[in-house]
A and B are shown apart, each in its own frame.
Chain A
């Protein structure tokens, strides 16, 4: 058994600056050997940066790191692995076109030839000891998120990791897969492994951890024994104020049907059917929330509805008109607005705020006269939107990339909602944003609903879905498991549907 009196990891006074951001501000962290240590904080609190420093991906600007009592300089993941540290990132670090075995042995020192037989043996061993079952010959892209995560954990163990960092490990998993993960984590801790569990979900802290360290805006706020604290305290520490924001959901008269989707089939980039027979309808003044674990076809569905991906089979009707496989341009002209999940898709970072705001009306009066752009019209359009949506920017001529994530999202929302859309598609509109921006953006979506826009909201954040939606659809494996009115939806039912249980009305 390892010596449990010496801390597995000790980080002292860690400082990390990025251009314009202080990501870690003199962070101290002690992780005891054999414990499960939760690292709790909001998005942007600096949890992942801190762990990336421990894993050698980033280099600290100041501070010292001790592993198992010894002062170390970790310059690369290779150094970290040598110290017995393994990390499972939120974005899995797997080569999609390679097999499980190839991924597991990637980067290992050893003899020249590919050690296939040895690798298979170890894989079997891990399957038995920790319940990490996975087919060694499968290609990564064929595996579910949960299976891919198992490969990641196996990779770390294979390299002899006794300190395992898990970065938001449950974000891509179904409730059942989460259960399995928690049990694996506990089995590893029982065998003397140390686990650092990054999360922003309070439930998980209590479900699995021995101790918890809370980070806020790059600083450590507290380190506590999990048994001696409660959700209220942690929530307050994490956010710095009481969390509850309430949105008033005013009753709105449901208008005529705006969007009707019939038996939609859509292929993913890899050519497999990612959406299989999805049907639903959406009325003016209504928010339909689409819940589900990422990667179950939501992305393909949304892109097809925005005209960015072709539909294999099925029909899309907009106010009765068939718009299946029409160009994005045609949809824009018919009042379909789209807030994409990846902000880079919807913006041109090197162009100015003003130019980004005309991205969809650059060829219409008054911005465009004949073939010429009217710079005065562009300027006044920008000034109006910047003021109305309170976009914090030094000037309308500032390149968009210099704005914060929240303000970029405000600008996108300003552009998309200011034109009185008939259909607003919002994919993960608040992901990665701070509380203030999140609250503001949710309010904008609500006011759109009140103005009679049909809103399709895709989100992984169940709280967001429950708070905003009138009806909730759950997607699993390319199908809709059922559509529930919000007053009949509870977390348990939705959780079951996210795991693939049909719920017919």
Chain B
């Protein structure tokens, strides 16, 4: 039997230039967004804005950067993707469905009683490396994974997705110290800055900026890019890989609801409730975007 292939565009493409890659990853991102809408429409609510906003990153990670096997999720040499922000699970479910890990039909169970696809996901869902959602847990565990993989001499890398709101958790900065102290060059952290947490924008809730300066001061290789620009994300990862002996952080400025103007403009869109007739419009807007 053939060994299941690592799924990403880099290995599956026989040739291609940057423009081709971007086109392919944009198509993946659009599928991820389609699945996000499909899941949320079914239950009439959910973290739609986050799923749409982070789709471009997930496309780059799952279809360009991450070394993993969709049919052998416990492959010991895999790269790890750690989702610290449990409510972003809708986006990860969509990416995992696009990668063939989660059956497409199962997306219709998102948030339903008894489903594996919980609103705030956990390690019991295939493809999840740990349980996020209690915020501030992802980075400390990612540090442990990166240290453990290095101790084993593995080439595996750890990618961790946190959010701007998590920059208010003390544990994030405890972990930031440890990552720099142990010079974990195999660790790549993303901080999704969509400027919206449960009680409003971070600048009003509890100011977190300047994030670039903070991470740099903590000893991390730091970049800040438009998190809805697939080319910029891929380029930032390539640049990060040139710096050795330091953990890497890429701060992503993203737009909640990206790809669906109806949601992009909705106020207080941390958790969106959508009227039944609005889903049709949302789907139309996504297809036109």
A and B are interacting partners: no
